[in-house]
Structures are given as C-alpha cells and as structure tokens.
Amino acid sequence: MTKIAVLVSGGGTNLQALIDAQKKGIIKSGEIALVVSNNPNAYALERAKKAGIATAVIPGKEYKDQSEFEAKLVETLETAEIELIVLAGFMRILSENFTSRYTRRIINVHPSLIPSFCGKGFYGLHVHEAALAYGVKVTGATVHFVNEIPDGGEIILQKSVQIRKGDTPEVLQRRVMEQAEWKILPRAVELVSKEMKKKKEGK
C-alpha cells in the first residue's frame, strides 16, 4: 500500500471525496495515513478524525520563514513514512526546495482546465470569477504533478464542466467540485499509488 498524506487548509471537501473513494474501493493501491493542515481551525481535521485518520497541524504563523515551515513538514511526513502527497485545498505555495525532494510524488487538484486560469493568484473563487469574466463556455478541473511552478507540473487527468447561463462563481465552483474535482482526484490518486506500488515491488 502506498502511504498517502493529504495537505489541507480549509473545509476539506476534496479530502472527504478521497475518504469516500477509499471506503468504496476506488482507491485501493494506497491509503490515507495522515492529514496535515497549516490551519488549526480547518474543518478538514474534523473530517479526518471522524474517519480515524491521524492528523498533524503545522501553523505557518509559528515559523519565521518558509524553509523552517517546510523542514517541519518534511519531518512530519518522514515520521509517518509518507510516499505520496496530495494537495487538496492547501493554501500555501511550496518551494522548489520542497517539491524537488518529492518529484512525481506530489499531486494537486486545480479548478480549471490547465493551461487556462492557472498559475499565481488563481485559486479558489478567483478561478471561477476569471472563467466567467472571460466568457468561456467550458471549464473543469485538472489533477497534475506539482513542481516549482504554480500549476506547472505534468497533467494526470482532466474533466470538463459546462458553464450555464446565469452561473455565479459560487454556483460554478460547486458544479466543478461535484462533476470534476471529486471524480478525478480519487482516480488520479489511485493511478499514481498503483504506479508507486508497482515500482516498490519491482514490477
């Protein structure tokens, strides 16, 4: 089994999708062993506890710089023997120093069809506001490997979602989560976990 850590900052709806997918057997080559948050008040931590998953809190404010924060994060992940890291609404950019340590072992879900509406400043509702302002007819979500460029890593899976007349950013955000993010994130986690498991077993 590939040991997975999910990094979260807020409500944890994508985390819940992963927990549910694990229960249903969609994720079978890996298991969520740890949920880490930089926000002690993140509801995602409650979701993890309800599912019996270990949690760790690393409040960004307690560390004087990014390297100290990341050193603590690395220590936490290594102690739990984590192999795959999933960013699920983790509102903190990770440095090249961190990402290069985990090449092809960090994945992220982004609420647009990369390369549209991605990169620095495009997160949360901003992405959906931009899509609606631009007038695109189709948006969606992308799961990709994480490197030092925000939203710049290799794409693993994408799923499109239709934009409807009268959509608000909030309505669109919900549809993208339900129709795309919650479907492709578990599938991508299984794909990558399976690949890692094979390598470990020397297949």
27-60: pLDDT as tens digits:
999 999 999 999 999 999 999 999 999 999 999 8
Looking at residue 7, its pLDDT comes to 98
DSSP 142-195: EEEE--SSTT-SPEEEEEEEE--TT--HHHHHHHHIIIIIHHHHHHHHHHHHHH
128 annotated active-site: no
Residue 30, beta-bridge partner list: 2
The pTM is what?
0.94
Percent of the chain with pLDDT over 70: 100
Q: Which of 110, 126, 128, 144 is catalytic?
A: 110
Contacts of 203 (CB under 8 A, 6+ apart): none
Average pLDDT score, the chain: 95
Domains of the chain, start order: 2-200 (3.40.50.170)
Looking at residue 18, its pLDDT comes to 98
* Structure tokens belonging to residue 86: 């999933």
201 pLDDT tier (thresholds 50, 70, 90) = confident
